[in-house]
Amino acid sequence: MKMPSAVRATLLAFAAFAGVTLSSAARADEGFVQLTIYKAGWIIGGSGGSGVLNFHGRRYPLSTGGLDYGLVFGGSKTVLRGRVSNIYRPSDVAGVYGAAGAGLAVGRGARAIVLTNQKGAVLELAGHQVGLMANADLSGLAITMR
């Protein structure tokens, strides 16, 4: 049975596209991140902190900073640990991560979040938050390599 050339060309193009997509995803790697973030605010909030990326047996220092806008009240310290995936080199972790969220911390509480930056790096973090913080806001977190 003969296949029309247009169908055959379409199938070959799809197979090539799938191969490129799968091979580039297969080269992506992962590492582990720990961040300590201090946050304070009243309507407009700010955050800053530091951390470390562990990637291929090496440690890379990180800095964080960000802004929050919405209902923000109080101050807190958050320590997050977790995995960063879909990176090819350590510098892929650097970038701007955005999130919308709501929460309340009085004393000590748990925190978990998944964020993606413009390079496709995915942070899956969990940890604890200490302080007095109420928020329902849009926030941005910038991570830079030191």
**Domain of residue 97, CATH code:** 2.40.128
Contact by Cβ (8 Å): 116, 145: no
Range of the structural domain that residue 94 is part of = 29-145
Tell whether the model's pLDDT for residue 137 goes beyond 90: no
Which tens digit of pLDDT belongs to each residue from 10-49? 555 555 555 544 444 558 899 999 999 999 988 888 999 9
Residue 69 to residue 42: CA distance in whole angstroms: 9
105-119 average pLDDT score: 82
The answer to whether residue 139 is domain-embedded is yes
pLDDT at 120 over 90: yes
**Is residue 55, in this structure, part of any structural domain at all?**
yes
Residue 6 lies in a domain: no
pLDDT value at residue 134 = 74
**How many domains does the chain divide into?**
1
Give yes or no for residue 5 having a pLDDT over 90. no
141 confidence band (pLDDT: 50, 70, 90): confident
**Residues facing 48 on adjacent strands:** 38, 65
Residue 106 clears pLDDT 90, i.e. is over it: no
46's enclosing H/E stretch is strand 29-55
Is the distance from CB of 80 to CB of 62 less than 8 angstroms? no
In a domain, 22, yes or no: no
Residues linked to residue 1 through DSSP beta bridges, in sequence order:
none
Helix, strand or coil for residue 5?
A: helix
Residue at 95 is within a domain: yes
Residue 108 lies in a domain: yes
